[in-house]
Structure 1
């Protein structure tokens, strides 16, 4: 019997598998697709954007260099000495933002480091990288396995696939928006119904000059003509009327594209095509007994703003160390319950973020009025900075209690005097106690958790006025203190997140 069975070998399931493998858990990943590679996951259809926060997650596990290489990125900026504006921001409801308008000095607790920028990648690159990393960590991946039933007992849970049974202490569904695990395990899935049907396609266009490049809003919806010839997306506000159980035909796609673009463009041939909607749904909890959900299995929404992959990576990073501690038996009471408590609000925010964009895209007078207002707001420096802060993931703050405003945020990439960075200290998947004052009392206090917390001391290039910081394995600040070390407060925080100290 395995410690954990993960259903789904997409980026979320594989990242979670790597986190558990890093903690020496016995992990089995089941994936229904028989092969790792497919046209849907490669360029151009598999193109995805990783936010700055997601890139930082790879960096903190020592995978940034490999991620850039796999993604074909050879111009990623070196770590600057001072915070610099991003090279790209993205768009809100099709309205492209100017990176020069981002006020980096207004971003809270942001220190320059090697992972400051978003990365354009593709699913094939990410999954190949994570599959190789998982194998190095002893994770077993079985492909071509379709789960048909899930049964729970008091001590284990079993995934059934045909005549085979896969038992584990815990099971995690990372199997996408149509999650079989979610349906079989009885999770409540609630939200809002769609306003539009969207289509992604790779096609041969007889007269491409009739379509404007880039993002185009029209009285009927929106269409995107991508840089790769024939790669397009189109959204029509039909209330989600298209029957998504069937593949869209060339004739249907051409008719939709003509209505939305207002042209008589002709699609000579459609090579690949799929449909989606802006249906926004979320499970009311991310855990039912010994079954947990992460990524699209727990929350679905439109792809507007490119948040789906990023919030899923955040789920996996948050869940991994908590589930590993539970498997090892050294988790404090209720640790696993903090997964839903922390990540559910983030998922709910993403749903609202995409709903707001849909509202601004609606081709009626109400939608256009909202759009005009938002265009004015994001035309300001404060407005652009606000949107960037949200889209980059730098605004996420979990409610962990504590008075210091850094608590609950991703730790800044503090750089010690000897050049060591926080990102160097988190690669093992342990917590980190940073002592900028070299106060021996923090060293002595941290010794009680030496297998779960790594201690590092020395002056920092910029300590943000802090004396010490306790960072969880997922990079979130659990405690922050000033120059006067409060041992009682530190031990209370360490005990809350890491359990009782070793005797």
Structure 2
């Protein structure tokens, strides 16, 4: 392959693009990643990971502690979810700032031999039946790069998506302005629960606080870097081309709370964030694939950040796509495997959009919403409701259609001491090696402390399960997900 061609191009070296690059490399396909910034971004968008993705990162050896522990409580639309009495709590958290996560994944990609071309901007794409061609502007000038596939991980305003003609239907809430910044807040206002007592306004807990005039957020996830944020409804117009200032954020807090919050700026060397978002986009691509172009993460879906689901959704897109795209490139993917990326992940995005829209509606101003929140709060005290919302937020209610009726099939594999490598894995207590004909693609491990015979996909989801060995059913599942036995054993 020439220096101007590769198997797969990834446009964008944010967490989702880098995660996909790592997944492809683990599966034996080395992509080239194009990123317009000169190095890993220091912009702090997300403040951590929540939900099933934390367990998935642990499976890849990226989580610092093993195993991840669920949190005792969480927020849904600024209402507390108490998990103390919840059996099998699925809500894990990893408070890793996005720049730290990006650097972690960039280092992992480099270790795996992935080439990230920093300072290279994709400016156009074309494709035909055999390849896709990217036009690239780099530090030394323009050039083209060809590949079998191109994956857009270039964000909600994705150039690749637009050039591919993929629609991005949805809507924008135009009368909503969100502001967020890092600041120093007087220690005298701090409370033991991590919140604030603000004279003239009252007590505000750590995290989201809904008031009649909007939403106020306070959280200090890193010492000395307090996050202060507001959401205003029906706000007056702003010049979106003018950068937000701390004074603007301070004025917004005063309007929302009806009282002033003293704030001082952070030193520039701490890379403080000051960000304004006018309107709230909720959009979903009408398809995840156009020929040899595929969408990943925000390029495929954008939504409110309420509840922090963005990286849970995007990183698991990457885990789902990586092994399937690698199998396609290497020539041993069964027919239709790559199409299951959209059929499995798009419904998950639809559920995330549903619950973030619901959360946004429940923090809107007005007495009707206040009454609805009171009723909803009563419902959240019911264990069955709490469990349902917890699974929704964590994404643990995701069940892919794997063609197997066993209750574990289609779900993320349970915590197992054997871990889950980036290859298909059969956990077999029988010792009969029933997947021997797939040994070139599927690893078999004899274990006894498992709830069933489990065939686990590279993304950690269970492709097939049975309480007793069913050779015919297992071989059908192996063929469905990893190709016919004779083809796999021959490719080895």
Normalised by the length of structure 1, the TM-score is 0.85
Measure the CA separation in 2 of the matches of 1:469 and 1:175: 36
Give the structure 2 partner of residue 482 of structure 1: 467
Tell me if structure 2 keeps the 8 A contact 1:197–1:242: no
Describe the shift of the 1:304–1:487 C-alpha distance in structure 2 as closer, same or farther (beyond 3 A).
same
Which string of whole-angstrom CA distances, capped at 9 and with x for unpartnered residues, describes residues 356-377 of structure 1? 0011111123322321222111
- Counterpart selection for 1:320 from 319, 322, 331: 322
**Aligned-residue RMSD, C-alpha:** 2.4
**How many pairs are equivalent?**
456
SS at match of 2:435: helix
**What stretches of structure 1 of length at least 5 have no aligned partner?**
69-75, 111-115, 416-420
Say whether residues 1:102 and 2:101 are aligned partners.
Answer: no
Tell me if structure 1 keeps the 8 A contact 2:426–2:442: yes
Give the structure 1 partner of residue 57 of structure 2: 58
- Counterpart selection for 1:359 from 351, 358, 361: 361
Tell me if structure 2 keeps the 8 A contact 1:472–1:478: yes
Q: How far is 1:230 from its partner?
A: 4.8
Which string of whole-angstrom CA distances, capped at 9 and with x for unpartnered residues, describes residues 22-60 of structure 1? 12213111111112252x23xxxx552322411221222
Give the structure 1 partner of residue 293 of structure 2: 291
Give the structure 2 partner of residue 448 of structure 1: 437
Measure the CA separation in 1 of the matches of 2:238 and 2:284: 22
Give the structure 2 partner of residue 458 of structure 1: 447
Give the structure 2 partner of residue 260 of structure 1: 256
Q: How far is 1:92 from its partner?
A: 0.5
Normalised by the length of structure 2, the TM-score is 0.87
Which string of whole-angstrom CA distances, capped at 9 and with x for unpartnered residues, describes residues 462-503 of structure 1? x33x3x2211111111111222x2211111111010011125
Measure the CA separation in 2 of the matches of 1:385 and 1:302: 22
**What stretches of structure 2 of length at least 5 have no aligned partner?**
190-197, 267-271
Tell me if structure 1 keeps the 8 A contact 2:77–2:362: yes
Give the structure 2 partner of residue 122 of structure 1: 97
Give the structure 1 partner of residue 121 of structure 2: 146
Give the structure 1 partner of residue 211 of structure 2: 218
Describe the shift of the 1:136–1:318 C-alpha distance in structure 2 as closer, same or farther (beyond 3 A).
same
| Aligned pairs for 1:83-482 within 5 A | 86-104=70-88, 117-162=92-137, 163-194=142-173, 196-203=176-183, 209-210=198-199, 212-214=204-206, 215-227=208-220, 228=224, 230-238=226-234, 242=238, 244-265=240-261, 272-276=273-277, 277-415=279-417, 421=418, 423=419, 426-427=420-421, 429-438=422-431, 440=432, 443=433, 445-460=434-449, 463-464=450-451, 466=452, 468-482=453-467
Say whether residues 1:34 and 2:38 are aligned partners.
Answer: yes
Q: How far is 1:260 from its partner?
A: 0.9
| Aligned pairs for 1:5-44 within 5 A | 5-38=9-42, 40-41=43-44
Q: How far is 1:404 from its partner?
A: 1.4
SS at match of 2:48: strand
Measure the CA separation in 2 of the matches of 1:168 and 1:492: 32
SS at match of 1:411: coil
Measure the CA separation in 2 of the matches of 1:353 and 1:273: 27
Describe the shift of the 1:328–1:489 C-alpha distance in structure 2 as closer, same or farther (beyond 3 A).
same
